[in-house]
Amino acid sequence: MSIEVSNVSRRFKGETAVNNVSFQAEKGEIVGLLGTSGCGKSTILRAIAGLDNGYEGTISVNGNPKRGTSKELGVIFQEPRLMPWLTVVDNVCFGLAGTKAENQIKAKKLLKVVGLEGFENYYPKQLSGGMAQRTAIARALVTEPDTLLLDEPFSALDAFTKLQLQDMVLDLWDSYQPTMIIVTHDIDEALSLCDRVVILKGQPGELYKNVQLNQPKPRSKADPELAKIKEEILYSLGLSRNTNEKIAKEA
């Protein structure tokens, strides 16, 4: 599905959290939403997911304005949000409609991919934070939704697992080209996964930059072109090394 966010603003009790943000995700495109904490990334994602209808502006799916949730949208929340009364494998099956046996097979396959083989019958209370998040990732991916909305899906994971799962996301994309919107703090993550990076800034959050990346994937971290873009993004967020050094000197 293609998604178009146009002139979306969100106020909470008179306080503006997101101000007039517009961007597009073409069908099959991976879009990164990048920005510092509190600039409204989760708020925008919730609006796209249809979980929050209190925004102004329009969000269109395939050209049609919509409000409300839809089965074609898979969401990975910032927290795992597992059902504590279900085992890991039943949590993964949560959104599946088919017969139990079929679902279990699908779920187990995906649990293997996220490295949770052997933990199928654990309850969420027995999982570590990263394991819980990986379960939540499996739960969202198992339904193979047309569009995936990911809210900092990997930020609770160690660097190594994170790289593995980023690869998994790319494999997944290769297999059926879902549209994805990934919220992240991590510039490297955005640069290695995304076709487009939308940068939000400030409080209230406003659109600051919309960077298109045309490099083929998988991308090498050492790509000088990407390094340049990274420096640009850091600079625009006021975080480049030069500014950091300045801050350090002043302190």
Partner 1 sequence: MAISQGQHVEKKPIFETTKGKQKKVGKTMPSVFGHVGLSLVLPVLLILLWEGVTRFQIVETHLLPAPTVIVETIADWAVDGSLWQHGGITLYRIFWGFIWGSLAAVALGSLVGMSNKAETMFDPLIQAFRAIPSLAWVPLFILWLGIGEPSKVTLISVGVFFPVYLNVVGGIQSVDRKLIEVGKAYGLSSFQLVRRIILPASMPSFLVGLRSGLGLGWMFVVAAELMGASQGLGYLLILGQNTLQPEVILASIVLFAILGKITDYGLKKIQSRVLHWQDRIDSSKG
CB of 210 to ligand ATP, least distance (A): 17
Q: In this structure, how many other beta carbons lie within 10 angstroms of the beta carbon of residue 116?
A: 22
85, interface contact from partner 1, Mg ion, ligand ATP, none, CB < 5-8 Å by kind: partner 1
Q: Choose from partner 1, Mg ion, ligand ATP, none: what does 234 bind? Cβ within 5-8 Å by kind.
A: none
Beta bridge partners of 61: 3, 64
Shortest Å distance, C-beta 25 to partner 1: 18
**51 is a contact residue toward partner 1 (CB under 8 A):** yes
Q: Is 81 in the site for partner 1 (CB under 8 A)?
A: yes
The interface region with partner 1, picked from 18-26, 119-127, 169-177, 195-203 by CB under 8 A, is 119-127
Q: What is the sign, positive or negative, of the torsion defined by CA atoms of 172, 177, 183, 187?
A: positive
What is the distance between the alpha carbons of residues 175 and 32, in angstroms, rounded to a whole number?
Answer: 20
- Give residues 183-212 in contact with partner 1 (rule: CB under 8 A): none
Count of chain residues binding Mg ion (CB under 5 A) = 2
Residues 6+ away with beta carbon under 8 Å from 141: 74, 110, 148, 172
Q: Nearest 10 degrees: CA dihedral of 163, 166, 168, 170? A: -130
Tell me whether residue 54 or residue 98 sits nearer to ligand ATP (CB atom): 54
Residue nearer to partner 1 on the CB measure, 18 or 73: 73
Local structure of 51: helix, strand or coil: coil
Residue span binding Mg ion (CB under 5 A) among the ranges 10-18, 37-45, 164-172, 235-243: 37-45
Indicate the SS3 state at residue 78. Answer: coil
Segment interacting with partner 1, rule: CB under 8 A, options 33-41, 47-55, 165-173, 222-230: 47-55
In which element (H, E) is residue 188 found?
helix 187-193
Select from 40, 7, 1 the least CA-distant residue to 22: 7
Alpha carbon of residue 241 to chain centroid = 26
User: Binding partner of residue 115 among ligand ATP, Mg ion, partner 1, none, CB under 5 to 8 Å per kind?
Assistant: none
Q: What is d(CA 109, CA 13) in angstroms, rounded to the nearest whole number?
A: 45
Residue 43 within binding range of Mg ion, rule CB under 5 A:
no
Question: Please, are residues 195 and 213 in contact by the beta-carbon 8 Å criterion?
Answer: yes
Of the residues 21, 23, 33, 42, which one makes contact with Mg ion according to CB under 5 A = 42
Structure tokens, 223: 């790509």
CB 142 within 8 A of CB 76: no
When CB distances are held under 5 to 8 angstroms depending on the partner's kind, the choice from Mg ion, partner 1, ligand ATP, none that residue 122 binds is none
Residue 123 binds to partner 1 (criterion: CB under 8 A): yes
- Tell me which residues touch partner 1 (CB under 8 A): 49-51, 69-71, 73-75, 77, 79, 81, 83-86, 94-95, 123-125, 143
Residues that bind Mg ion (CB under 5 A): 42, 78
